[in-house]
Amino acid sequence: MANIEINLIENRKPVPATDELGFGVHFSDHMLVMDYNLDQGWHGARIEPYGPIQIDPSMMALHYGQAIFEGMKAFRASDGNINLFRARDHFNRFNNSARRVCIPELDVEELLTGLKKLLEIDQQWVPSEHGTALYIRPFIFATDQFLGVRPSHTYKLMIILSPVGAYYAEGFNPVKIMVEDEYVRAVRGGIGAIKTPGNYAASLLAAVKAQKKGFTQVLWLDALELKWLEEVGTMNIMVKIGDEVITPPLNGSILPGITRDSTIKILQNWNIPLIEKQISINEVMQAGSDGTLKEMFGTGTAAIISPVGSIHYKEDNVIINSGNVGELSQKLFEEITAIQYGSKDDTYNWIDTIDVV
Ligand SMILES: *Cc1c(COP(=O)(O)O)cnc(C)c1O
């Protein structure tokens, strides 16, 4: 991506006010685009004005879902510079997703160079109020005009940017979750471990069902036995029972979250016992009723840490920590965000800084 073509927009849009940001509704002035074909491989990296694209009705991604995406964030540091959080890890995972659905991989360093250039150009779209961020959405989709089922021969990559408001604008708020015991999200050997659209389509009906019953999120169990914890909504799950933090191992149906990994590394650094092991919903409900279930939280780029206030499973309900935010959830949230906004040293080497001129 050494010779990236740049075509700037004529009239920049106004950046929305902080309280109007929301999540994923506003988009910056520019986007990064690249194409793939069999002759040239990935080529034609360019930064263009953000806007609609033309697609053919027979475009393969629309019919068979050969597509992948990523979600990461950039933060405005107090010195005005931009902190990009774990972008290499996100792009490595992007390639991992690509492999699973037969999409040709990309050079991670080139992607990073392109993204940094895009961030430089759209730097005023990184909001500065604490809690806000610029959400970065890279994605690739199959573009062959063909209705047969096979890997496409052509693809398009795009990176778009969306300024997002504080997830916890009204304070850190524990969610009510419902354990889903009918539908499943993913099965080992399937596509649950990668960020591909089909997984999210598969999750919608259960989410709607939970919301109708007054719950915020679904807790997913494994597909084979409907017994073991997998994920919560689109986040990884952690439970604190007694003094131990337990999270399910990456067994092939769980998405390897970067926030999960950041949390594990921080807990290890704090000498807090963290075990990756299978944990059943019955163990969790039991710990809930005998008082040893201290905390439960989801981890993901959007919310960072999302505390769980109650769990509903079949006919049973347990309240966690009287429905309040746990001490560890709070500490982890503060630690991770302090590194992201640069108020704490980046001892883990997670930040790429973009100097703003
Ligand atoms: C993206 C995602 C996560 C969290 O991953 P992060 O890298 O922490 O954002 C967890 N589960 C699912 C299903 C996801 O799509």
**In which element (H, E) is residue 316 found?**
strand 316-319
Count Cα neighbours of 250 within 13 Å in the Cβ-side half-sphere.
10
pLDDT in tens, 260-300: 999 999 999 999 999 999 999 999 999 999 999 999 999 99
Mean pLDDT value of segment 143-151 = 98
Q: What CATH number labels 175-341?
A: 3.20.10.10
CA distance 314 to 15: 46
C-alpha of residue 49 to centroid of ligand 1, in Å:
29
Question: pTM for this one?
Answer: 0.97
Which among 129, 142, 126, 144 has a CA at the least distance from the CA of 26?
126
> Domain residues of the chain, as ranges?
5-165, 175-341
Q: What's the pLDDT at 3?
A: 84
**Residue nearest to ligand 1 atom 5, measured at CA:** 257
- For the chain, what is the mean pLDDT? 96
User: What is the per-residue pLDDT for 172?
Assistant: 81
Q: Is the pLDDT of residue 24 over 90?
A: yes
pLDDT digits (tens, 9 = 90+) for 30-86: 999 999 999 999 999 999 999 999 999 999 999 999 999 999 999 999 999 999 999
Ligand 1 centre distance from Cα of residue 184 (Å)? 16
Helices then strands, counting H and E runs in the chain, come out as: 7, 18
- CATH fold, domain 5-165, is D-amino Acid Aminotransferase; Chain A, domain 1 (3.30.470)
- If one residue of 194, 238, 301 were mutated to test the ligand 1 pocket, choosing by the most ligand atoms within 8 A of its CB, it would be 301
Find the residues whose C-beta lies inside 6 A of ligand 1: 71, 195, 231, 234-236, 255, 257-260, 299-301
Q: Which of 235, 336, 340 is the pocket-test mutation for ligand 1 (most atoms within 8 Å of CB)?
A: 235
Angle subtended by helix axes 87-100 and 258-269, to nearest 10: 130
Alpha carbon nearest to ligand 1 atom 10, residue: 235
pLDDT at 2 over 80: no
Q: Which protein residue's CA is at the shortest distance from atom 15 of ligand 1?
A: 234
User: Would you state the structure tokens that stand for residue 180, as one six-digit string?
Assistant: 């889903």
Q: Is the pLDDT of residue 1 over 90?
A: no
Percent of the chain with pLDDT over 90: 96
The pLDDT of residue 268: 98
Per-residue pLDDT tens over the stretch 203-251: 999 999 999 999 999 999 999 999 999 999 999 999 999 999 999 999 9
Percentage of the chain with pLDDT > 70? 99
The ligand 1 atom at the shortest distance from the C-alpha of residue 199 is 13
